[in-house]
Structure 1
Amino acid sequence: MRRLILGAALALGLGAGYVALTQPERPGRPERSGGQLQAAPEASPPRRTTPDDAALRAAAAQPISIPALRARRYPGSALTVRRTLAPGANYTRQVVSYQSEGLRINALLTVPRGTPPPGGWPAIVFNHGYIPPDEYRTTERYVAYQDAFARAGFVTLKSDYRGHGDSEGEALGGYTDPGYTVDVLNAAASLKQDPRVNRRRLGLWGHSMGGQLSLRALLVDRELKAASLWAGVVAGYDLLSTDWNPPGGKRRTLDPLNRRYLRLLSPNAYLKDLRGRPLQLHHGTADKDVPYSFQKALADDLRAAGQPVEAYRYEGDNHNLSGNLGVALQRSVAFFKRHL
């Protein structure tokens, strides 16, 4: 798990357009026409721009924001088999690829053996956490996690994301660039095109950075039904910028305007749009990479937005829930069986 300091990246990289939006509007001035000065046509007085309006407009203009992501298209593509792997206990395994913004993205696909249920198999878009892109391998890591869902009768698709392993594109990170989220949404769109999959029974599983990607994708694609997030980077961007790995352990501070801007940039500002679609959260209290407080922050945000949440706290467990892996996987499998 890469430790990122988001404060500077968010305040400088994402906030670059903020000043322009907070400048006051200038009154109309005379215009020149045919060498003569003419008064500009009268107009109704401009509506006063409040700091909150400016923060909302600035946040929505960022490519990573939920409004900006909703304005894009995610056509996906047919899944192309690249390599057939040794099968699992009761499922097949293949390295496949799909298209995302013209890039070939590789993924690990599992499909249950046997006759699909009416309408097709339920499916899970499986979103891994941060792994150095040049060290990433499609068939490594998360083997036991993906196996648990595959054994339980779910199609799973673990996207590599752009710039990882042999996937095309540049790896620019999951928090300040929309690329990985676009890849997740195109992975879901590609699964919907597979005749073995029931497109009305799709969910998301995400760990760490993949939790952030899953939450964002759930808010963009309303056909996705549910998500299980493990040790997710799922607090609002305002909290991430002040509390995540602060230098010297000293919490950073934000002025109210920047705090509001970062809040509106977060998926957490749009949780009412879930409209009852369920989230399940898992987190260990001894996680040294992503604080347990991030899960609590999202759970509080969900309750404040009137949305259901199922949250599990694992005392003394680490970022991978190594001490409670079996229990957490059983809970996630049961969650998807209820909701997909």
Structure 2
Amino acid sequence: MTLKLDRRSLLRLSGAVSALGCLPLTARADDKAAPASSGPPPIEVYAATPQVDNIALSPDGKRVAVISQTGDDKMLIYFDVAEPTGKSIRLGPAKIRNLFWGSNDHVVIVDSQTTSLPQFTGSKQELSLARVLDLRTVKLRTLFDKEDDFYGIVMGPVYRVKIDGVYQLMAANYRMQGEYNYCLYQFSLDAGRGKLAYESSRDTEGYVVAPDGYLVAYSEFDDMRKEWRLYYNMAPRGKMENFKVIHRMKEALDYPSLEGLGRDCASVVVYFSKGEAKGEYHEISAEGVLGPSLDTSDYISTSPLYHPVTRRLAGFSHHDDWVGYDYTDPLLKKIADALPELMGDDYRTAIVEFAEDPRKMILYGENAEDAGTYYFADLSTGALQVLSQNYEDLPVEWITEKTAITYKAADGLEIPGYLTLPHGKPAKDLPLIVLPHGGPQARDFIGFDWQTEALASRGYAVLQPNFRGSGGYSSSFANAGHGEFGRKMQTDLSDGVRYLVKKGMVDPKRVAIMGASYGGYAALGGATLNPGIYNCAVSIAGVSDPKSFISFVAEKTDSRSSSSVLYWKQFMGDPHTYDEISPVKQAARASCPILLIHGTDDTVVPIDQSRRMESALKHAGKPVEFVTYKGQDHWETVGSSRIEMMKAALAFIEKHNPAT
């Protein structure tokens, strides 16, 4: 079974081009002189897709592949590091989700399509397809499209493995027959058909695959019994798999997560969200023995790091305002420790990808004079080469840094966040835009943010509160949001406004609110649940009615007690009070004009949520505008629509909450 694509648009060669304007530079990007500019750059400079959508380094560290964009068409650009003049292939208006090298001559492109399939619940799904492109022949193939009883899609990650010295791929999919089992397949990079590696139940959550293709373990969650189980392969390499349950937990929502290989390449790493090990990573041996907590740092938000060749646990990254690295592997620790000296102490640097020789890598960096640059670094020679700048048309003087702040909510809880001040204005009586993040259990960081920068360039201060319930802090901070959807999670935002007003930085008569996804709900809540604070509200793909949204999630997951439904319910609280926190039901209380923006291909928050809000506001006689974008998804993948969306939002805000 195959999903149809326009292969001609995917394989239209555009000839040899300069690879992203790559220059054989050894200086940092912000060492270049910036041209002077008299006024703020056009919105396109901020809202257009960054120069680099995805970037990947070949296993041998000699080649780079990049997904960039021209108009709404994606481009694959590939080149040798030693000679950065490459070739490009036009991919058409594809929604690229991932890019990596399958070998030194093959790239793997994972894209997604919004579609409906009869065996899947819900009216629409965003489904992923994995393509293998042979750069020697420019031939493309799609995983699973030649397998019987499968759609040509992938469900879960695609792994690069090396079996008997030959690179291959492993990927999983549901068999559209019988019990819809979850099947792991092994694919040659050149041959058409794959080979079944293992078939497990449809409850399977994911596999741990060793770098030689050996299947170590997998986990499954039984939604009916609300039980998580960890299966370990007791069979030696080369023998038929023999899986045994070595750990199980009864839990409806906060069940464990299988993360990867342990340090000895035999144990597996598991993250626990509940119980005595809550918030901790542990290794579990083949015998089911739970080891001690692995991450002993003081950081609240961490993620495991793995060696690029052995895939063994090699340390942890920590996430505060920016990412940091705590490697236990001696070589990787030495490399990470060398980055501040290589890039500069004032430079926020992140490791994007290692080659198999980890001394060769792609780095990303930014600071007050750099909106984001990618580099190739070779620590064996000390070479540092600029690959591409994300916003090369953005003048340095129009880059505005965020400042980390904290303030107290009405109940005394400390709320962290970020404040961005407008270019060239004193921090006094400023117009303000509150920009809450989505999630809601996500968070904002201090890094470059095109939307914040665009708003600040038009004369606004921008407040990004990491309200209670946000992720990336303590579990108690996240749990403080449970039951506070539209309640204290909402007033955390207006408490931030009051804090800035009290400091004299913000004019209380010139405040607006804008957000996407959960942030879109918060924008609607600011107008209806917490009225009188904002002059206008902009909701982008926002939830507007908890009751109907829960019904949508239940239909999509085929269960009213699925983990996704339970996730939302723990934030929304008592279902009997949903009308109290529903902007649709409280539309008559709207105290300011509202702009609704939504894409037709949104499979996360359906466009029906904005339609319901528009209808309720019109019925209540309240001012509302509604802008839709055909083909746009929840992640604003279509670049032209993103630009038009930002223009519409700014025009609306400038009309109802002018900066001057």
Measured against the shorter chain, the TM-score band is 0.5 to 0.7
Q: Name the structure 2 match of 1:152.
A: 458
Decide whether the 8 Å contact of 1:231 with 1:292 is kept in 2: yes
- Spell out the pairing of 1:260-339 with structure 2 (5 A cutoff): 262-275=578-591, 277-323=592-638, 324-339=641-656
Decide whether the 8 Å contact of 1:274 with 1:307 is kept in 2: yes
Decide whether the 8 Å contact of 2:441 with 2:478 is kept in 1: no
**What displacement does 1:332 show?**
1.0
Decide whether the 8 Å contact of 2:437 with 2:444 is kept in 1: no
Decide whether the 8 Å contact of 1:121 with 1:155 is kept in 2: yes
TM-score (norm 2): 0.34
SS for the counterpart of 1:170 is helix
The aligned amino acid for 1:273 is: R
Decide whether the 8 Å contact of 1:138 with 1:165 is kept in 2: no
The aligned amino acid for 1:329 is: M
Which structure shows the bigger proportion of residues in strand conformation? Answer: 2
Q: Name the structure 1 match of 2:423.
A: 113
Measure, in 2, the Cα distance between the counterparts of 1:216 and 1:196.
24
Measure, in 1, the Cα distance between the counterparts of 2:624 and 2:536.
11
Decide whether the 8 Å contact of 2:579 with 2:586 is kept in 1: no
1:260–1:304 distance in 2 versus 1, CA, 3 Å: farther
Decide whether the 8 Å contact of 1:92 with 1:112 is kept in 2: no
Decide whether the 8 Å contact of 1:103 with 1:169 is kept in 2: no
1:137–1:115 distance in 2 versus 1, CA, 3 Å: closer
- Spell out the pairing of 1:20-39 with structure 2 (5 A cutoff): none
Q: Name the structure 2 match of 1:215.
A: 524
Structure 2: stretches of 5+ with no match in the other structure: 1-320, 323-345, 347-366, 370-396, 562-573
- Spell out the pairing of 1:1-340 with structure 2 (5 A cutoff): 86=368, 89=398, 91-100=400-409, 101-115=411-425, 120-130=429-439, 132-133=441-442, 136=443, 138-140=445-447, 143-162=449-468, 163-166=470-473, 169-172=476-479, 176-177=483-484, 178-219=487-528, 220-234=530-544, 236-246=545-555, 262-275=578-591, 277-323=592-638, 324-340=641-657
Bigger CA radius of gyration? 2
1:150–1:164 distance in 2 versus 1, CA, 3 Å: same
Measure, in 2, the Cα distance between the counterparts of 1:251 and 1:105.
33
Decide whether the 8 Å contact of 1:137 with 1:165 is kept in 2: no
Measure, in 1, the Cα distance between the counterparts of 2:527 and 2:459.
22
Decide whether the 8 Å contact of 2:435 with 2:464 is kept in 1: yes
The aligned amino acid for 2:606 is: P
Specify which structure has the bigger relative contact order, considering alpha-carbon pairs within 8 angstroms and separated by 6 or more residues. 1
TM-score (norm 1): 0.64
Decide whether the 8 Å contact of 1:174 with 1:213 is kept in 2: no
State the identity as a percent.
24
Measure, in 1, the Cα distance between the counterparts of 2:479 and 2:631.
32
The aligned amino acid for 2:464 is: K
Measure, in 2, the Cα distance between the counterparts of 1:169 and 1:110.
27
1:173–1:217 distance in 2 versus 1, CA, 3 Å: farther
**What displacement does 1:289 show?**
0.8
1:176–1:214 distance in 2 versus 1, CA, 3 Å: farther
Decide whether the 8 Å contact of 1:185 with 1:221 is kept in 2: no
Decide whether the 8 Å contact of 2:432 with 2:512 is kept in 1: yes
SS for the counterpart of 2:543 is coil
SS for the counterpart of 2:523 is helix
**What displacement does 1:183 show?**
1.5
Measure, in 2, the Cα distance between the counterparts of 1:195 and 1:264.
33
Measure, in 2, the Cα distance between the counterparts of 1:99 and 1:183.
9
Decide whether the 8 Å contact of 1:268 with 1:301 is kept in 2: yes
The aligned amino acid for 1:127 is: P
SS for the counterpart of 2:414 is strand
SS for the counterpart of 2:627 is strand
Measure, in 1, the Cα distance between the counterparts of 2:614 and 2:510.
24
Decide whether the 8 Å contact of 1:211 with 1:232 is kept in 2: yes
Q: Deviations over 1:223-277 (max 9, x none)?
A: 311111111011x23312323342555899xxxxx999643552322222224x1
Decide whether the 8 Å contact of 2:526 with 2:537 is kept in 1: no
Structure 1: stretches of 5+ with no match in the other structure: 1-81, 253-257
Which structure shows the bigger proportion of residues in helix conformation? Answer: 1
SS for the counterpart of 2:519 is helix
